[in-house]
Amino acid sequence: MELELLNYKNVLSSNWSMGRWMRTGNSKFQGELISCFRSCMRNWFVGMFALFLLGSMWIFYHETSEPYLMKTLPWLELFPLGSMGEENRSTDVDQPQIKATYIRGKEAVEQFRNHLACFSESGKWVYDPTPRHLPWNYLGDAFASTCDSRHKWTGPGHVSYEQAEAIERDLDGNISAWLVREELKWVWQTNSSCPFWAVNRDDLCRRIGSRRNVMVVGDSLNHEISWTFMNHLVLNGTGYSRLGTNNRSTDGVYEMCGDIFGAGNGFKVSFVRNDRLSPVLFPTVNWERNFYEFPWLNLVDEYDVKLLLMNRGAHYEDDVTYAQALRNIFTILSGRFPHVRVIYRNTQPGHINCETYYRPLSERQNGSQLPDNYHWADFHRQNQLAAKIVEEFQYIYMDVETMLSLRADGHIDKGDCLHYCVPGPLDLSIQYLYNILLLL
């Protein structure tokens, strides 16, 4: 006990002596210590300022070259796009937003919509004969493959499906030609402020997500979109059979991206034919006007749909009827399915004498030249009307008309200058969808 007490006194004595030395001890050493501390603090402030300056320059560069593509910022995992700023500070449910996304606030919404407009309005069709993989028509109706059936190359036989990716080499083994249809060699090129990225199939799978099912609703143009979408997702044609035009309501049939998420954890791409996007409860067909309306709203719940890709317009109705129908269905969707992400794709017009074109147009065809019975000249006006309504309901508007109005080439044949062969110009719609998902 006495030994422990002695040790305790020694510790107190030592601590008291150290404190006294710090107060009254060697002034030279104290000066060096203070000088070192000041130097460390100065270096720390200089380092932090340099880091701040470099970070500001990096952000400024990316905001000027890619004003909305800020996905590479490391803190976006903590603060999702649209939440940094006014979103979390406001409890106003009426503030501008893109429904079922993290995009909130007037500035974020405007930036997003301007970026999508940049995709459509800043670009041009550029010839690119570089060999690359194409999404061949494994799942769509055979009529959409007629362009490949007609296409021949100088080698033996016909070119179709993977065979069309064959390349011709010279005597030195260098690629001399890519043996595909000419309309497949054109790509949409935007300016540097809104890069239009080529589809990365695996990344597209992940952007949609495990068990996040997709539904495509609309007319025969969107039917082709559903085939094109799935053709982008399948790795090859093994194990698949075609989904024909008569399959007007499907649950998706096939699981997509099971190789990414694991079997049973992929997603499906369903399609429902409804030319008016009407909320019917039973199938309705107007044979005289060629209107098909199959029920689909109940299937959004049944199929657990997370992404809805919609379109109407090729089956013409007057502006008042058209606008009322859109507002009606968007009102229903907003109330019943606020969690579903809605993308409305506008309608591209057909082209006269499409069989004579083998490359994109330099400007869209004059509306006065288009046939009156199909109302193709009215599509542009109704697309503008749809854009305002989609924005009013805070959904996403996909403008493919601006790009595809220049693609008189690649149509089915002279008897069908509205639908495109698959693959073909319609692949741009899936590329557009992919670039939208990159922003969300």
Which sequence spans correspond to the domains of the chain?
Answer: 36-65, 125-438
Q: What is the pLDDT of residue 323?
A: 98
Dig out the tokens for 346 from the structure. Answer: 């506008």
**Contact status, residue 267 vs residue 212, Cβ threshold 8 Å:** yes
Beta strand spans in 98-219 (E): 124-127, 167-169, 175-178, 186-189, 213-218
Q: How far is C-alpha 428 from the chain's CA centre?
A: 11
pLDDT at 115: 97
What is the predicted pLDDT for the residue at 37?
A: 67
Q: Which of 231, 260, 204 lies closest to 438 in space, CA to CA?
A: 204
CATH code for the structural domain at 125-438: 3.40.50.1110
Collapsed DSSP state (helix, strand, coil) of residue 239: coil
Record the tokens describing residue 350, joined without a space: 């057909």
* Per-10-residue mean pLDDT, the chain, length 440: 46 46 54 67 69 56 40 36 32 80 96 97 95 87 82 48 63 79 94 96 97 97 95 85 81 92 96 97 90 96 97 96 98 98 97 94 87 90 98 98 97 92 96 97
Q: 316 near 284, Cβ under 8 Å? A: no
User: Can you list the alpha helix ranges (DSSP code H) found in 288-412?
Assistant: 297-302, 319-336, 379-392, 401-404
* Predicted pLDDT of residue 56: 52
Residues 6+ apart with CB under 8 A from 71: 81, 438, 439
Q: Determine whether 63 is exposed, middle or buried from the number of CB atoms within 10 Å of its CB (0-12, 13-18, 19+).
A: middle
Strand, coil or helix: what is 286? strand
Determine the pLDDT at residue 423.
93
Cite the DSSP H helix spans in 212-365. Answer: 220-233, 258-261, 297-302, 319-336
How many CA within 13 A on the CB side of residue 265? Answer: 8
pLDDT at 59: 45
Chain-centre distance for alpha carbon 227: 17
pLDDT at residue 104 in the model: 95
